[in-house]
Structure 1
Amino acid sequence: MGDASLDLVLMFVPIEPAHITAMHHDPELWAYAYNKGIVLVSPYNLLSAMKLISDLWQREKQNRNAMDIADRSGALYDKFVSFTDTLRDLGMHINRSHNSYEEAIKQLTSGKGNIISQVEKMKTLGAKAKKEIPEKLLQLGLEEDEE
């Protein structure tokens, strides 16, 4: 049977007295039918049987949703772990970039005869330049050259 079907079939006996007479005549009739996958219902218990089936289908849908949520949660968790790995790698790259930046600034500004002081001296000696070294960087380079 399909996804939304039960393992049982309802056999509706529309005449309540006929249903009662059949059950009195053969008390094992209900068990026999049930073992064959048939549930005998009458007008008296039809609505409760249908409500029960509706509730079972609702629970089955909830169970499928719970399984889907569990699958999606697992996939989301895996994506999250991958994201944190990438974020950690990014942090290491940022730190390396920052360290490289600091090293480049140090080469530019540190020690006697640093690059900034040398290019500034070339400008003082007559190098024709259209641009100026930013004041903050220039000060840093010239201070280090004097030490």
Structure 2
Amino acid sequence: MQLTSHRLHEQTARLAGALQAPQIRGRWGEIQLERVVELSGMSRHCDFSTQVHGQTADRVVRPDMVVHLAGGRTIVVDAKVPLQAFLDSTSAGIAPEAARDKAVRHAQAVRAHINSLSAKAYWSAQTSSPEFVVLFLPGDGVLDAAMQHDPELLDYAFARDIVLATPGTLIALLRTVALGWRQHAMAEDAEQIQTLGRELYRRIDQVLGHLDKVGSALRRSVESYNSAIGAVDTRLGVTARKLSELEALAVSTGQTTSDRTRLKPVDSTVRSVSPRT
């Protein structure tokens, strides 16, 4: 247990040391944001995009992340919350009074960043974006430390169209977004199935119409054939029998009426196509 605690302390110290560099600190916040989004079940370039350039009325902006919502809407997420004062307040060996001063500065820095984000109006650079920006804080402790010395911070942010989100709250938000995506996809599939069903019915109706015409033609053909057979039996047959009775014809042809094959009428009927509704 002591060994595990010691290793955890060493890893925390190394992380705190690495985060002293502003570039590394900023990149760490972006990586944490991407991990949270992926844990929410969202996919890069499909459900969200990073470092998207945009143009507002007076400047070029590049938010850390743009989350794509169903219906073409978007949510802008910023991960550049200042962490230096927070890291200083939690560093090993710092005196309680100094830690408190650093925590106060941390709260002030977060408030100042809220003002900066509100002034940038990231949402104006996006199509169909709600008028707010999510400010991602990469740990519950980051928000708690600021709230301890600035209890009105959440209300202050909301009033300026900024939503403060820790990993836990952001995961809940993004999973709701992912659920909305799935429901939107299901609705699109249902609409497509309905369209294909109408098209299939229309084509089946066309085929049945063609088969109905074929059946009618076959019935007329059978009727014509049977009429022709009747004419042969009642007219041609009578004449043929009279001729065959002549002995000279019988001798010359070597055949009699009994030798001839009688044509039979077609008794089968064509099945009608079921009525279409």
TM-score by length of 2: 0.39
Greater helix share, structure number: 1
The aligned amino acid for 1:44 is G
Letter of the 2:250 counterpart: T
Taking only aligned residues, the RMSD between alpha carbons, in angstroms, comes to: 3.2
Structure 2 CA distance, aligned partners of 1:139 and 1:90? 23
Please list the CA deviations of residues 78-106 of structure 1 after superposition, one character each: whole Å capped at 9, or x if unmatched. 10111221122112111111111111111
Residues in 2 aligned to 1:14 and 1:95: alpha-carbon distance in whole angstroms: 81
Pairing partner for 2:139 from 11, 15, 18: 15
1:133 partner letter: R
Tell me the distance in 1 between the aligned counterparts of 2:264 and 2:171: 91
**Counterpart of 2:260?**
133
**Structure 2 CA distance, aligned partners of 1:64 and 1:117?**
74
Q: Alignment partner of 2:167: what SS?
A: coil
1:115 to 211, 229, 236: 236
C-alpha distance in 1 between matches for 2:173 and 2:193? 30
Where does residue 161 of structure 2 map in the other structure? 33
Q: What percent of counterpart residues are identical?
A: 18
String of CA shifts for 1:6-45, please: whole Å, max 9, x gaps: 22234322132443527732405236436xxxx5421221
Query: Per the alignment, do residues 23 and 72 of structure 1 end up closer, same or farther by CA in structure 2, a change over 3 Å counting?
Result: farther
SS of residue in 2 equivalent to 1:80: helix
**Alpha-carbon contact 2:229-2:263 (below 8 Å) kept:** no
**Number of aligned pairs?**
128
Q: Identify if the C-alpha distance between structure 1 residues 139 and 3 changes in structure 2 by more than 3 Å, giving closer, same or farther.
A: closer
Q: Which runs of 5+ in 2 are unaligned?
A: 1-44, 48-67, 78-133, 266-277
1:125 deviates by: 4.8
State the shift of 1:48 in Å: 1.7
Gap regions ≥5 residues in structure 1 = 141-147
Task: Give me the whole-angstrom Cα distance separating, in 2, the residues matched to 1:128 and 1:80.
Answer: 58
CA contact (8 A) 1:16 1:43 kept: yes
Instruction: Establish whether residue 64 from structure 1 lines up as the match of residue 188 from structure 2.
Output: yes
Is 1:24 aligned with 2:152? Answer: yes
